[in-house]
Amino acid sequence: MTRHPLDRPIWSALTMRQRDLAVGDDLARRFDPEIGPFAAIAEDDDEHLARLASLVAEHGRAVLLQRGDIPVPQGTVVRLSADGVQLVLDRLAAVPTTGRIEQLGPADATEMIALAKLTEPGPFEARTPELGGFVGVRVDGRLVAMAGERMKPEGFTEVSGVCTHPDHRGHGYAAMLSAAVADRIVARGETPFLHAFASNRSAVALYERLGFVLRTPVGVRALVAA
């Protein structure tokens, strides 16, 4: 049976459009640790799991996200195990413009990283901004909200890094920026998708209002070396 590319989106991304950002081989791959901790294997047999364990030992924490069970390789310890959801865009809803959207680039990386560390929208490392497609809102010259792109399997791009400074929530920035990123992805002829923890009902509800629909539950596991 042919596997859908979003069943293992990390593997699909790192063997397709983002293979230049990967470390590893045809058994197990992960993003360069300075970009992010996401890792994946092609299959769940002993050979692939052993290679994944070696990547964890060599490069540190790895986060796996995929449809179905996530086996734990020998030589690793689970630091996080959670239920997630994967949503894909059906039809993008109209979203009010509540601020001026700015394109973000390398010159904004320090502010982007600081905002991500404050709000914790998901793993965000020193080189995460290089994944591109980030847009933001500034208030009095200060970056207070952003959203961007992350995994890019063939034909799909993930909306990610969505966050707003606690002092500036309630203005619709997250919806506006997420919609702007999704709209640009659609304009390229690709399908936007995204992930959220199943327990984060407010985030899931926001994305559903934007026109995203549930594709599948996913598992999330963070592994470190034993």
CATH number at residue 166: 3.40.630.30
Q: 43-58 burial, b for 16+ CB within 10 Å, e for fewer?
A: eeeeebbebbbbbbee
Instruction: State whether 120 and 80 are in the same domain.
Output: no
Q: What is the pLDDT of residues 184-201, one digit of tens each?
A: 999 999 999 999 999 999
What pLDDT does 65 receive?
97
Percent of the chain with pLDDT over 90: 97
Instruction: State whether 162 and 91 are in the same domain.
Output: yes
Does residue 222 belong to any structural domain of this protein?
no
Query: Residue 216 phi/psi, 5° resolution?
Result: -165, 150
Instruction: State whether 128 and 69 are in the same domain.
Output: no
Q: What angle do CA 86, 92, 95 make, to 5 degrees?
A: 115
Q: What angle do CA 42, 14, 211 make, to 5 degrees?
A: 100
Into how many domains does the chain fold? 2
Instruction: State whether 45 and 153 are in the same domain.
Output: no
Percent of the chain with pLDDT over 70: 100
Q: What is the pLDDT of residues 21-67, one digit of tens each?
A: 999 999 999 999 999 999 999 999 999 999 999 999 999 999 999 99
- Domain interval for residue 53: 9-84
Does residue 2 belong to any structural domain of this protein?
no
For the entire predicted model, the pTM comes to 0.95
What pLDDT does 108 receive?
96
2: pLDDT strictly greater than 80: no
Instruction: State whether 50 and 75 are in the same domain.
Output: yes
84: pLDDT strictly greater than 80: yes
Q: What is the pLDDT averaged over residues 77-98?
A: 97
Instruction: State whether 65 and 117 are in the same domain.
Output: no
1: pLDDT strictly greater than 70: no
Q: What is the pLDDT averaged over residues 131-144?
A: 96
Does residue 223 belong to any structural domain of this protein?
no
Instruction: State whether 51 and 96 are in the same domain.
Output: no
Residues 6+ apart with CB under 8 A from 36: 63, 123, 124, 125, 128, 131, 150
Q: What is the pLDDT averaged over residues 85-98?
A: 97
Q: What is the pLDDT averaged over residues 119-146?
A: 95
Instruction: State whether 52 and 164 are in the same domain.
Output: no
Q: What is the pLDDT of residues 157-180, one digit of tens each?
A: 999 999 999 999 999 999 999 999
Instruction: State whether 133 and 186 are in the same domain.
Output: yes
